[in-house]
Structure 1
Amino acid sequence: MKNRLHYTFLIALFVMLGLMSLHYLPEINLCGKTFRKVDLLSDIRCDVHVADTLNLDSLFSEPVVKPPFVDSCKAGIECIEDYSDSTEYGMSHFYEALSDIENRQSPVRIAYFGDSFIEGDILTADLRNLLQTEFGGKGVGYVSITSKFPGFRPTVRHSFSGWTSHNVTDSVGFIRNRQGIANSYFNATEGAYTSLEATSKYASCLDGCTASSIFYLTDDSLYISAEINGSSEQKFRVKGDSTLQCLTVNGNIKKVKWNIEKSSQDALFYAVTMDSNNGIILDNFSTRGSSGQQLLGIPSSLLKKYNKLRKYDLIVLQYGLNVAFEGGLDYGYYKDGMKFVIQHFKKAFPDASILIVGIGDRETKDENGNLRTMPAVKGLIRSQQMLAAETNVAFWNLYNAMGGEGSMSKMVNSNPAMANYDYTHINFRGGKHIAGLLFDAIMYGKEQYEKRKSYEMQ
């Protein structure tokens, strides 16, 4: 019998030569994305100089930054850029609300919209805690009826049963004009419930609340009960209405369970809340995979009703992870699309301040296998800044606040790590760090607003 062992070495040689030859193939593009070249010798090959081909000045004219009072920002703070005009959709309304918070009859409410960067209350949990510690307030705020990953969110214990869930990310069966402010809606079977239990595990301000509400829309009457702290129960029979409604219970609430005892098939439910009657309330509206443009699908009539039932003083829009792509330079199309979203919210919340938070650092590997900031990030940031300037709202440069070029890599490699190994998403430690940076920017902006107001009154 012949010895054919040498064929194994020949096959291995041909495979190796074939893989090495792949390095010399031209660039392969698919759906606008360029595949990285295969290079078996990358560890021993001399690094190729990789130029950053993004010339921002060739894409956009420099927007004029108009700080409200000072010509330069305080060292160590990435200041909020306010592009508001006479309509005052910049930060003035929010700063005024904070300044007058002790005299208000209602809490100062913040709606923080974003993608998976803030999923599970990452970043927003710590920003809420900092603001509630400074200005008062309790509770986690607005929580959708169900959640795909309820255990991932450490700021509330959430349990539920008996619901059919509909989310904007569903591939089929989602009806856009039924969705609420969180891009979702829920149908109840008889006996359905949603329970929220306070926890001080993450922050002391979350150990209880003084008010809880349930938001719903129904044309027919409903029978609902609220069970507080496992014992006290309040029963409600509510009449049908063509617009958004909410029921509220008050007390020293550690746990609240909303039960749907009898419901019509067409009744829509949206969320339950844990709030306080003063201080700060911050609601997290995270949608995984979102670019932000899905917010345009929320019916205007419903948003206007939210403005009456849950009036927001500040609306934050933080998107970009699902917009930036390798090789993308000009995001003017995205800016133009988001203008409609801004206008949508301005009409629904005419008194609210609006803040756009730019995309943070996101890293990718170059031809040498070295990590660097994705060039597309800088182009997207400029478009987001221009979006704020052209719609007269405020802008905060998260990329600069994080430290700019290579900052995500530093967060990943910090000890303990503050970001994930996808070099795109932060973890809760990273969220705490960034929340501190944004809190400092807000407090400094408030200070400058008060100085300007005092100066104008002299």
Structure 2
Amino acid sequence: MRRLHNILGLALLILLLPGCSPVAAVNTAGKPVTTPARGPVTQGNGNLAVLAGKLKAANRAPVTIVQFGDSHTAADLFSGEMRRLLQAQYGDGGIGLVSATPVPGTRYEQVILKTAKRQWELVSARNQQSTQFPLGGYLSVPLAAKPSVRIEAREPSTQRYRVSALYQARESTSLLLSDSRSQNRRLLAATAGQWRFGPMVNNLGLPLDLTLDSRPGTVLGGWYLQGQKNAGVIYSALGINGARLDVQNKWQPGWESTLKSLRPDLVILAYGTNEAFDDTLDLNLYQAQLEQTLERLRRDLPRAVLLIIGPPDSIKHRKAQSCAARQPQPLAAVVRIQREAARQANALFWDWQAYMGGPCSIAAWQAQGLARGDLVHLSADGYRKSAAGLYDYLRTQLNLQ
């Protein structure tokens, strides 16, 4: 009976959570620590010189990267290798934003999230409807009075972090953060239906236990883990299995304010595979959506570099005679639209399919153990090889070779 009551409460919560004001969507007092914002600059070279300068000075101030994408991002193998390469060169600034609770089919390269059964309900923008989804697209709704989450490191590490919760709260509540050295309790103030980052808690190690003092109307959107030194590269991988670019339309209006509060220096859009597998894709509509997304990002983040990663090569019809017939029918058009949209927006475009060798090259990658048998996804080695290619491309564009 209690389980039924909780589920009914969850459904009511999703329906009743209030809307968001784009201006006040983030509590500036509790947002992740970053360097002070500067005014807009001319987009002469797409801010490449700005990003190059920040990477060169990353030992003194953080460089923030946010990657949005589909299953290629959700596995955090491709983005995880990018994070490793950048942090090896420019310093480890932290893991960035991760979901509040475990998401089936999603992993993080550096951490594992664990929860007890029947403490949380996950609501995903992948296959559920709500206008309350935060940046990233996952709601974690408490089903117990004091639900907890444990964040563990995949590999032993002495790294210390500054940690903040992305949350909504109808009334004020509190969060207890406990590691091997200390316990810290922080107030999570009521947010009036807006998404906020809670107070940053300093000098925390992993494993880390986070226990929420649940109140009606409290939901979590994620945890932000930034290195204690406030320097180096922070790389957030926000991927949803099966996602297309328009998944962002399902997020609560004002989610861009959460993104702006992170002050990203590089924003990556890594969608396209699921669009390409839709034979009924409206190419004109897709083009308009992509152009509008880039225009909005340019307006909201005038000093950031924008990068579109094209979809990797894939095969849909294995038994077809020609390469063109084996490919997803809209794939070539999706790549063409992305390339042109990037050009018009003064954004970077990395052609993943071309890097792999062009149309139908995934068959050769699969034969070499670099792609999985579905001829859509890559193996861990394939994603790491691809990340090395993107890393070299980015450093070349930034004149950092």
Task: Please give the TM-score of this superposition, normalised by the length of structure 2.
Answer: 0.80
**More displaced 10-residue stretch of structure 1: 247-256 or 431-440:** 247-256
Structure 2 contact 43–302 (Cα < 8 Å) conserved: no
d(CA) in 2 for partners of 1:297 and 1:220?
25
What aligned pairs does 1:51-450 form with structure 2 within 5 A after superposition?
86=43, 89=46, 91-104=48-61, 107-149=62-104, 152-161=107-116, 162-171=119-128, 174-176=129-131, 178-188=132-142, 189-200=144-155, 208-229=159-180, 231-242=181-192, 243=194, 244-251=196-203, 253-261=205-213, 263-276=214-227, 277-308=230-261, 310-325=262-277, 331-363=283-315, 364-365=317-318, 367-368=320-321, 372-374=326-328, 376-414=330-368, 417-447=369-399
* Cα 1:406/1:368, change in 2 over 3 Å: closer
The one-letter code matched in structure 2 to 1:356 is I
| TM-superposed deviation, 1:329 | 9.4
**CA deviation profile, 1:62-117 (whole Å, cap 9, x unmatched):** xxxxxxxxxxxxxxxxxxxxxx973764544322321332342xx11111111012
Structure 1 contact 209–252 (Cα < 8 Å) conserved: yes
d(CA) in 1 for partners of 2:256 and 2:43?
23
* Cα 1:98/1:427, change in 2 over 3 Å: same
| TM-superposed deviation, 1:394 | 1.8
Could you say which structure has the larger radius of gyration? 1
* Cα 1:151/1:114, change in 2 over 3 Å: closer
| TM-superposed deviation, 1:237 | 2.6
**Counterpart secondary structure, 2:275:** coil
Tell me the residue number matched to 2:38: none
The one-letter code matched in structure 2 to 1:280 is V
| TM-superposed deviation, 1:321 | 0.9
Unaligned residue ranges in structure 1 (runs of 5+) = 1-83, 451-458
| TM-superposed deviation, 1:431 | 1.0
Structure 1 contact 139–207 (Cα < 8 Å) conserved: no
The one-letter code matched in structure 1 to 2:348 is A
| TM-superposed deviation, 1:425 | 0.6
**Counterpart secondary structure, 1:265:** coil
**CA deviation profile, 1:111-154 (whole Å, cap 9, x unmatched):** 11110122221201111000000000154321101223378545
* Cα 1:149/1:165, change in 2 over 3 Å: closer
d(CA) in 2 for partners of 1:149 and 1:164?
12
**CA deviation profile, 1:28-64 (whole Å, cap 9, x unmatched):** xxxxxxxxxxxxxxxxxxxxxxxxxxxxxxxxxxxxx
Segments ≥4 residues shifted beyond 6 Å: 326-330
Task: Please give the TM-score of this superposition, normalised by the length of structure 1.
Answer: 0.70
**More displaced 10-residue stretch of structure 1: 439-448 or 286-295:** 439-448
d(CA) in 1 for partners of 2:329 and 2:168?
45
Unaligned residue ranges in structure 2 (runs of 5+) = 1-40
RMSD between superposed Cα atoms in Å: 2.7
d(CA) in 2 for partners of 1:291 and 1:146?
22
Structure 1 contact 163–186 (Cα < 8 Å) conserved: yes
Structure 2 contact 135–251 (Cα < 8 Å) conserved: yes
d(CA) in 2 for partners of 1:240 and 1:330?
42
State the percentage of identical aligned residues: 20
d(CA) in 1 for partners of 2:125 and 2:308?
22
